[in-house]
Amino acid sequence: MGRQLLNRRWQLHGWLIHNVSSYFVSPSELFCWTLEEPQGREGAAGEEFGEKRGYAYESKSDVHFLLRNPTITLLLAFLPLLLVRTPEGNIRLYCKGADTVIYERLHRMNPTKQETQDALDIFASETLRTLCLCYKEIEEKEFQEWNKKFMAASIASTNRDEALDKVYEEIEKDLILLGATAIEDRLQDGVPETISKLSKADIKIWVLTGDKKETAENIGFACELLTEDTTICYGEDINALLHTRMENQRNRGGVYAKFVPPVHEPFFPTGGNRALIITGSWLNEILLEKKTKKSNILKLKFPRTEEERRMRTQSKRRLEAKKEQQQQNFVDLACECSAVICCRVTPKQKAMVVDLVKRYKKAITLAIGDGANDVNMIKTAHIGVGISGQEGMQAVMSSDYSFAQFRYLQRLLLVHGRWSYIRMCKFLRYFFYKNFAFTLVHFWYSFFNGYSAQTAYEDWFITLYNLLYSSLPVLLMGLLDQDVSDKLSLRFPGLYVVGQRDLLFNYRRFFVSLLHGVLTSMILFFIPLGAYLQTVGQDGEAPSDYQSFAVTIASALIITVNFQIGLDTSYWTFVNAFSIFGSIALYFGIMFDFHSAGIHVLFPSAFQFTGTASNALRQPYIWLTIILTVAVCLLPVIAIRFLSMTIWPSESDKIQKHRKRLKAEEQWKRRQNVFRRGMSTRRSAYAFSHQPGYADLISSGRSIRKKRSPLDGVIADGTAEYRRTVES
Amino acid sequence: IDYTGTDPSSPCNKCLSPNETPCVCTINFTLEQSFEGNVFMYYGLSNFYQNHRRYVKSRDDSQLNGDPSALLNPSKECEPYRRNEDKPIAPCGAIANSMFNDTLELFLVGNESDPTPIILKKKGIAWWTDKNVKFRNPPGGDIPLEERFKGTTKPVNWVKPVYMLDSDQDNNGFINEDFIVWMRTAALPTFRKLYRLIERTNDLHPTLPAGRYYLNITYNYPVHSFDGRKRMILSTISWMGGKNPFLGIAYIAIGSISFLLGVVLLVINHKYRNSSNTADITI
């Protein structure tokens, strides 16, 4: 019944398709759906739909229109009203909004009122988001009058918003109901699990949405951000807390409260799960973002005396300090809660909240959203994630990462984020170690060569060391290393805290790797030194010459650093193994090449080490020296590592140790789950608001999926299953 | 055998400030044990920094490789030993200039009053690659060596020019083995270089029987000015090279430490293995 209703009306009035943008709720799917029904054609959303059918496409700011009859001219488009002039010369007003709001403005004599209301009820029980549409014919004269008032209101210098609202109210009267639409707006799959996993990983989750409070609260329960035993505090409740804290601080520190050292008394008595639900306007108020009244500035525009100027700057500074202190207090309070939900926030406020957290809490922020209204927030946060979906690609284009579903966030953070951190830290530590071991040999050698900066290696070796001989293994380790497998990473979100607390690369670790490099360089130098002090070669020719010495140290160095990275690698693949042994082989290959007779003939001055490799490495004595050096460098590392893993194992060590057992458990659990399919509980969601600028979709994950069959069943039969779940 | 001669009682003391050149001195010594197999004679220098950077760079390998253009125009690295009296020096550089020029001769004091000179072989002391690849005389084929070196002059501190180092044409010029051995710079300030070989005569007699010997030294090389010391060393070798206890001691030390460590870690592993199996993963 509703279907036919919509059908007829739309044909009469042209097809209005609103593009999804910040302030419009009616998404394109809506009309596609409606249009699909009569024509039975598949259609892509919005523009493609229109273009396929050859409709004229006209756009005015955020609103796009596909007008069947291109002669309809657009008069005015402002949210959420639309004034057009039909080709016959009439002026029509189209309006959309929530049923509660629209119904107030309807003409008394609307024939379809009751039917539409019934349809709306059915939609609501299906937990769909509903919209009502209506229109009105306007006389030319009436329009002109109203237009004048509208112009006056829009250029008003004071209270512009209120004036505009009044003007809107005037014309939005006696509307004729066109019909109702409904879209399905379900929470994406996997959102509750993702949220609970992330909170186990010590990540605080805040929801910033433009919906109204009840909706936001429902969403919070739906995605398990709020549970049954969570105490919910609203903005008004904590006003008092913030106020008292402010007073205390002022009493303690005088005017410049921010110079008082922060006292870490918690806002709330400890214990219990606490959640905070605040609105955008409350945020404005409490954080003193309101602009100072213009009258004040006009009065003190020209400070006559020095005194006045000083007082003004002082008062400004005081105000600034007070604001900062208030903001700091707010952030502290909010961080004590396990979840924070801000509703009715504008995009600007979203960005402001992110900025507050960035400034007052030394934390890394990640903002995830899917609409154009999230772009501000995505850009402000340290990491911006855009969900590519039906909202279009604005969020995606301004983000650092983008994917299609919210639940991929857990993989992004817990698997790839964690691995990336671990790889980076290992890479850095190893790189510093390797270069210190390489370079400091010269330092020790200088004691024995008259401090003359004679290099302890061949020049070509120095050139190629970082380039060829030791670069590939560390590169591969930085790309491929995994300390625990991805499934286990997801299963134990607690592993993530290692990165949050900076445990794997901080000053201490850096100095440890530095020290390691120094010790290695000492061993690399002094053992061959001892071996060379009094030695002669196998056939009497003294190999105690400089070039053999260089070759010995270089070989020992290459073997040591490559084996060291072998010890550091936790995830062995074929490429890793190949790179390590390959680097060593490459070194020997190139060395023999450069020390050969052939190349000396070509470039005598450049390659002076002719014959060294073959002569020196022929001696078993040299090999014994090299082996001893490598062993002395690596054995302590092995011992220390073993001890630390046995006596003080880290979480990831423990997991690694038991990984086979955990993997078996995983298999067993998965086999069990195959035969059971979870039913997600849905709460009814009247998630629509009418106010301009706040009509927003849930930004913490949503997708609009065209689902035709259930609705067909509902409307066509006229019967409906009432699956209304009770709101708490 | 140190023969620097700083000690006034040393026979070579008189050569420190010689009133006549060349100064010859003799040192007596006794071998407790006879030396079997091939015996190698080395000269050793101390406090001589052949590994100083400026020193090591001061050579021209193209010239030493026999390149005719480099012969007459040595590389700039050789400064200040590049030209002398406006003629290019061959071989140029500080390394060549400071070549060791003492002559050592060994005599066995036998039962008869006549001391027997020990035959010292002067070929085969340099690396094969050095002698045949790295160092070559300037090309010329049949032209006598002196002709090939025409236009150059000898290094400042040398007595004889390079083409008169030895009468044997295979050991003259740049490919003189003593020269080659000297040009292979040492790694440390205390080093030894192979001087002569004493070949094994036959299996019945030891190469150097135990007894008294004396060393005849033509003391040319001044080391006293930089507090250096000169030594003559006689040595036999094994598969691992000459006598050097360092590596052996090091291996034994490291080996025993590793063994102890292994035992300790085994105990620790055993103790913790039992406790960790029951430990739960707390996250």
Give yes or no for residue A435 having a pLDDT over 50. yes
- The whole-number average pLDDT for the span B198-221 is 79
pLDDT digits (tens, 9 = 90+) for B48-92: 888 888 888 888 888 888 888 888 888 888 878 888 778 888 788
Q: Hey, of B238, B239, B269, B281, which one would you mutate to test binding to chain A, going by the most A CBs within 10 A of its CB?
A: B281
Q: How far is it, in rounded angstroms, from Cα A79 to Cα B225? A: 100
- Of the candidates A689, A78, A97, the one whose C-alpha atom is nearest the C-alpha of residue A344 is A689
Q: Other CB atoms closer than 10 Å to residue A41's CB: what's the count?
A: 12
- The whole-number average pLDDT for the span A566-594 is 91
B259 touches chain A (CB under 8 A): no
Q: How far is it, in rounded angstroms, from Cα A539 to Cα A559? A: 27
- Residues B138 and B276 placed together within one structural domain of the fold: no
Q: Between residues A692 and A251, which one has the greater pLDDT? A: A251
Q: Hey, of A495, A524, A546, which one would you mutate to test binding to chain B, going by the most B CBs within 10 A of its CB?
A: A546
CB contact under 8 A, A544 and B75: no
DSSP string, A474-527: HHHHHHH--SS-HHHHHH-GGGGHHHHTT-SSSHHHHHHHHHHHHHHHHHHHHH
CB contact under 8 A, B269 and A646: yes
- The whole-number average pLDDT for the span A512-519 is 93
Residue A16's pLDDT band, with cuts at 50, 70 and 90, is: very low
Residue A174's pLDDT band, with cuts at 50, 70 and 90, is: confident
Gap from A468 CA to chain B (nearest CA, Å) = 26
Find the range with the poorest average confidence among A330-344, B201-215, B244-258: B201-215
Q: With the CA atoms of A478, A479, A484 and A487 taken in that order, what torsion angle do they form, in degrees rounded to the nearest 10?
A: 160
Tokens 């900025």 correspond to A355
Q: How far is it, in rounded angstroms, from Cα B173 to Cα B150? A: 12
Residue A563's pLDDT band, with cuts at 50, 70 and 90, is: very high
Q: Between residues A263 and A603, which one has the greater pLDDT? A: A603
Q: Between residues A691 and B22, which one has the greater pLDDT? A: B22
Q: Residue A654: list chain B partners with CB under 8 A.
A: 276, 279, 281
pLDDT digits (tens, 9 = 90+) for A334-366: 888 888 888 878 888 888 888 888 888 888 899
Q: Hey, of A602, A641, A646, A657, which one would you mutate to test binding to chain B, going by the most B CBs within 10 A of its CB?
A: A646
Residue A663: C-alpha distances to residues A179, A414, A658 (Å): 56, 18, 9
Q: How far is it, in rounded angstroms, from Cα A693 to Cα A202? A: 34
- Residues B174 and B256 placed together within one structural domain of the fold: no
Nearest to B265 among A608, A620, A642 (CB): A642
Residue B101's pLDDT band, with cuts at 50, 70 and 90, is: confident
- Residues B140 and B79 placed together within one structural domain of the fold: yes
Interface of B with A in 89-118 (CB under 8 A): none
Give yes or no for residue A464 having a pLDDT over 70. yes
Q: Residue A454: list chain B partners with CB under 8 A.
A: 51-53, 56
DSSP string, A31-97: HHHHHHHHH-----SHHHHHHHHT-EEEEETTEEEEESSTTPEEEEEETTEEEEE-TTS-EEEEEEE
CB contact under 8 A, A544 and B186: yes
Supply the pLDDT for residue A93.
Answer: 78
Are B50 and A448 a contacting pair, CB within 8 Å? no
- Residues B162 and B89 placed together within one structural domain of the fold: yes
A368: tokens are: 């995830």
Domain residue limits at B275: 248-282
Supply the pLDDT for residue A26.
Answer: 32
Are A208 and A350 a contacting pair, CB within 8 Å? yes
CB contact under 8 A, B129 and A615: yes
Q: How far is it, in rounded angstroms, from Cα A158 to Cα B43? A: 104
Q: How far is it, in rounded angstroms, from Cα A652 to Cα A665? A: 18
Q: Is the peptide bond before A262 cis (omega within 30 degrees of 0)?
A: no
For residue A625, the chain B residue with the least C-alpha distance is: B247
B133 touches chain A (CB under 8 A): yes
- A473, burial (CB in 10 Å: exposed 0-12, middle 13-18, buried 19+): buried
Residue A19's pLDDT band, with cuts at 50, 70 and 90, is: very low
pLDDT digits (tens, 9 = 90+) for A596-608: 877 877 777 777 7
Q: What are the φ/ψ torsions at residue B197 (nearest 5 degrees)?
A: -110, 140
Give yes or no for residue B158 having a pLDDT over 80. yes
Q: Residue B260: list chain A partners with CB under 8 A.
A: none
Give yes or no for residue A669 having a pLDDT over 60. yes
- Residues B28 and B71 placed together within one structural domain of the fold: yes
- Residues B28 and B85 placed together within one structural domain of the fold: yes
Interface of B with A in 148-207 (CB under 8 A): 184-194, 197
- A302, burial (CB in 10 Å: exposed 0-12, middle 13-18, buried 19+): exposed
Gap from A669 CA to chain B (nearest CA, Å) = 18
Are A44 and A32 a contacting pair, CB within 8 Å? yes
Helices H, strands E: what count in chain A?
31, 14
**Mean of the per-residue pLDDT values for chain B?**
80
Bridge partners of A177, per DSSP, are: A134
Residue A72's pLDDT band, with cuts at 50, 70 and 90, is: very low
List alpha helices for A344-470, DSSP H: 347-360, 375-380, 394-397, 408-410, 418-446, 459-464
- Residues B30 and B127 placed together within one structural domain of the fold: yes
B279: tokens are: 């430990």
Supply the pLDDT for residue A81.
Answer: 66
Residue A583's pLDDT band, with cuts at 50, 70 and 90, is: very high
pLDDT digits (tens, 9 = 90+) for B134-147: 888 888 777 777 88
H or E element, residue B176: none
- Residues B220 and B253 placed together within one structural domain of the fold: no
Give yes or no for residue A315 having a pLDDT over 60. yes
Residue A559's pLDDT band, with cuts at 50, 70 and 90, is: very high
For residue A600, the chain B residue with the least C-alpha distance is: B134
**Could you tell me if residue B229 is left (phi over 0), alpha (psi between -120 and 50 degrees) or otherwise beta?**
beta
**Could you tell me if residue A162 is left (phi over 0), alpha (psi between -120 and 50 degrees) or otherwise beta?**
alpha
Share of chain A above pLDDT 70, in %: 71
Q: Where is mean pLDDT largest: A611-625, A673-687, B244-258?
A: B244-258
Q: Is B128 helix (H, G, I), strand (E, B) or coil?
A: helix
Supply the pLDDT for residue A540.
Answer: 60
H or E element, residue A9: helix A2-13
Q: Other CB atoms closer than 10 Å to residue B110's CB: what's the count?
A: 13
A392: tokens are: 């279009």
CB contact under 8 A, A658 and B281: yes
Supply the pLDDT for residue A582.
Answer: 93
B226 touches chain A (CB under 8 A): no
Residue A620's pLDDT band, with cuts at 50, 70 and 90, is: confident
Supply the pLDDT for residue B234.
Answer: 83
Bridge partners of A230, per DSSP, are: A273
Find the range with the poorest average confidence among A214-228, A407-421, B168-182: A214-228
Supply the pLDDT for residue A444.
Answer: 92
Give yes or no for residue B259 having a pLDDT over 90. yes
Residue B5 lies in a domain: no
Find the range with the poorest average confidence among A232-246, A624-638, B43-57: A232-246
Q: How far is it, in rounded angstroms, from Cα A99 to Cα A120? A: 8
- A697, burial (CB in 10 Å: exposed 0-12, middle 13-18, buried 19+): buried
Q: Between residues A295 and A438, which one has the greater pLDDT? A: A438
DSSP string, B46-115: ES--TT-HHHHH---HHHHTT-HHHHHS--GGGTTSSEETTEEBSS-SHHHHT----EEEEEEE-SSSSP
Q: Residue B53: list chain A partners with CB under 8 A.
A: 449, 452-455
Find the range with the poorest average confidence among A19-33, A42-56, B7-21: A19-33
Q: Residue A601: list chain B partners with CB under 8 A.
A: 65, 133
Tokens 């995994």 correspond to A482
- The whole-number average pLDDT for the span A305-325 is 82
- Spatial neighbors of A646 by CB under 8 A, at least 6 apart, are B268, B269, B272, B273, B276
Gap from B242 CA to chain A (nearest CA, Å) = 5
- Residues B113 and B183 placed together within one structural domain of the fold: yes
Supply the pLDDT for residue A53.
Answer: 40
pLDDT digits (tens, 9 = 90+) for A148-160: 888 888 787 777 7
**How many angstroms separate the first and last alpha carbons of chain A?**
32
For residue A490, the chain B residue with the least C-alpha distance is: B283
pLDDT digits (tens, 9 = 90+) for A524-554: 999 988 888 876 666 666 667 888 889 999 9
A411: tokens are: 């993989």
Q: Where is mean pLDDT largest: A112-121, A335-344, A493-502, A583-592?
A: A583-592
- Residues B209 and B262 placed together within one structural domain of the fold: no
Q: What are the φ/ψ torsions at residue A113 (nearest 5 degrees)?
A: -60, -50
Q: What are the φ/ψ torsions at residue A716 (nearest 5 degrees)?
A: -60, -45
Q: Residue A600: list chain B partners with CB under 8 A.
A: 65, 133-134
- Residues B139 and B273 placed together within one structural domain of the fold: no
Q: Could you give the number of structural domains in chain B?
A: 2
Gap from B275 CA to chain A (nearest CA, Å) = 10
Q: Specify the DSSP class assigned to residue B5.
A: -
Residue A172: C-alpha distances to residues A81, A107, A437 (Å): 9, 10, 80
Residue A584's pLDDT band, with cuts at 50, 70 and 90, is: very high
Are B48 and B192 a contacting pair, CB within 8 Å? no
Angle, helix A620-647 to helix B245-277, in steps of 10 degrees = 20
Angle, helix A620-647 to helix A546-568, in steps of 10 degrees = 30
Q: Between residues A138 and A22, which one has the greater pLDDT? A: A138
- Spatial neighbors of A441 by CB under 8 A, at least 6 apart, are A456, A457, A521, A524, A525, A553, A557
Gap from B12 CA to chain A (nearest CA, Å) = 25
Q: Is the peptide bond before B189 cis (omega within 30 degrees of 0)?
A: no
**Mean of the per-residue pLDDT values for chain A?**
73
Q: Residue B268: list chain A partners with CB under 8 A.
A: 643, 646-647
A418: tokens are: 């964690």
Supply the pLDDT for residue A519.
Answer: 93
User: What is the CB-side half-sphere exposure of residue A376 using CA atoms within 13 A?
Assistant: 14
Q: Where is mean pLDDT largest: A430-439, A529-538, B158-167?
A: A430-439
- Residues B231 and B161 placed together within one structural domain of the fold: yes
Q: How far is it, in rounded angstroms, from Cα A685 to Cα A705? A: 16
CATH superfamily name and code, A191-406: HAD superfamily/HAD-like (3.40.50.1000)
Where along chain A do its domains lie? Answer: 27-184, 191-406, 429-657
CB contact under 8 A, A540 and B246: no
Supply the pLDDT for residue A272.
Answer: 65
Give yes or no for residue B250 having a pLDDT over 60. yes
Q: Residue A615: list chain B partners with CB under 8 A.
A: 127, 129
pLDDT digits (tens, 9 = 90+) for A238-259: 777 777 777 877 777 654 444 4
Vertex B236, ends B234 and B242: CA angle to 5°?
A: 100
Give yes or no for residue A391 having a pLDDT over 70. no
Chain pair A-B, CB pairs under 8 angstroms: 184
Residue A120: C-alpha distances to residues A96, A103, A700, A720, B179 (Å): 14, 12, 25, 12, 107
Q: Specify the DSSP class assigned to residue B243.
A: -
Gap from A597 CA to chain B (nearest CA, Å) = 6
Are A546 and B186 a contacting pair, CB within 8 Å? yes
